[in-house]
Amino acid sequence: MYRLLLLFAIFIYSNGHFCEKKTPSWKLKQRPHWKFHDDNKSSNLPRNYFSEISQKYMDFEESLLNYCKSNGNIGVTEVYGSDKYILKYDIPEYEHSNITVNIFNRLLSINAEKKDKDGKNQVFQNVRLLPDILDFEAANWNFESKLLKIFIPYKIELGINLLKDCGTLNRNIINVPIMGDDYSKNIIFRSAV
């Protein structure tokens, strides 16, 4: 009995295998299941860029939030003016200190150092993500009315429709000048990483 079943199985296999220009009926016309595994080596499915990018973006946002919480709540005011974006920092104690304002891609970094009455260094630092619509290379700052004010004009006039492209990644660190300084000496070049 077993011999008969074995002979029958061999007959079916060989009959389907040697058909002339015909796909054997036992072969399914679908992809093998192993091609659907997410191993990025032989996958025919597109990568899920959204989950990858969103996870990195959330990690970045979480880092900024943790930095903000760990450095206390400082008085910062954002103003979206008709021709420029203005950040106002209420830090009157640093008015006559050494202040550095840098922009790296869209990250604004402020560093102010001064000596207190005992001769110890006091440092104010802040990092902030700036909107994408700003012309960072035309930025400047000043200290007036006990406020550190950073002025950054818009790249384009507000209210204009533009086709959004991928843009470029600026790896230069821009040393933002005090109002009235010559801009040409305020770019610090950084090698690509």
Residue 42 covered by a domain: no
Q: Are 103 and 174 in contact (CB under 8 A)?
A: yes
Residue 88 covered by a domain: yes
3-state class (DSSP) for residue 85: strand
Answer whether 0.75 is exceeded by the pTM: no
Task: Report, as ranges of residue numbers, the positions in the chain whose pLDDT lies below 50.
Answer: 182-193
As a whole-number percent, the residues of the chain with pLDDT over 90 amount to: 39
Q: What is the pLDDT of residue 83?
A: 93
Residue 39 covered by a domain: no
Total tally of structural domains belonging to the chain: 1
Q: Which residue has the tokens 């802040």?
A: 126
Q: Quick: pLDDT tens for 89-126.
A: 999 999 888 999 999 999 999 999 998 888 889 899 99
User: Can you give the residue range of the structural domain that contains 113?
Assistant: 74-157+169-188
Q: What is the pLDDT of residue 182?
A: 45
Residue 83 covered by a domain: yes
CB neighbours of residue 87 within 10 Å? 22
Q: What is the pLDDT of residue 110?
A: 95
